[in-house]
Amino acid sequence: MKVDCKHVWEHISEYIDNGVDAKLREEIERHLEHCEICSAILDSTRNILVLTADDRTFELPVGYSERMHKRLAKELASPEQDSDDK
Ligand SMILES: [Zn+2]
């Protein structure tokens, strides 16, 4: 089974939530080792999932990494979560 970038993007939020089975997880990790694009998307997606953890409405726009980065920038520019560590 060969995992391409699009396949990784489709499952990346499940992957972060440990929602993929062991075999797919292994395939994704193998792909991430040699794919800088997907590694960057994984980092970005993790950031987004943290930022929207309350309602978890984030949807990964498969095939539109440019749009994803705009959304990421927007999320980062308007932090809605109250920091309670101050
Ligand atoms: Zn990739």
Contact 58, 49 (CB under 8 A): yes
26/29 Cα distance (integer angstroms): 5
The model's pTM = 0.55
52 Cα to the center of ligand 1, angstroms: 24
35 Cα to the center of ligand 1, angstroms: 5
| Mean pLDDT of the region 52-63 | 55
Residue appearing with tokens 């993929």: 20
21 Cα to the center of ligand 1, angstroms: 19
28 Cα to the center of ligand 1, angstroms: 9
**Extents of the domains making up the chain:** 5-73
44 Cα to the center of ligand 1, angstroms: 14
Higher pLDDT, residue 24 or 81: 24
DSSP assignment of 5-66: HHHHHHHHHHHHTT-S-HHHHHHHHHHHHH-HHHHHHHHHHHHHHHHTTTT------TT-HH
Contact 12, 42 (CB under 8 A): yes
| Mean pLDDT of the region 71-85 | 66
Each residue's pLDDT tens digit, 11-56? 988 898 889 999 999 999 999 999 999 998 888 887 765 556 555 5
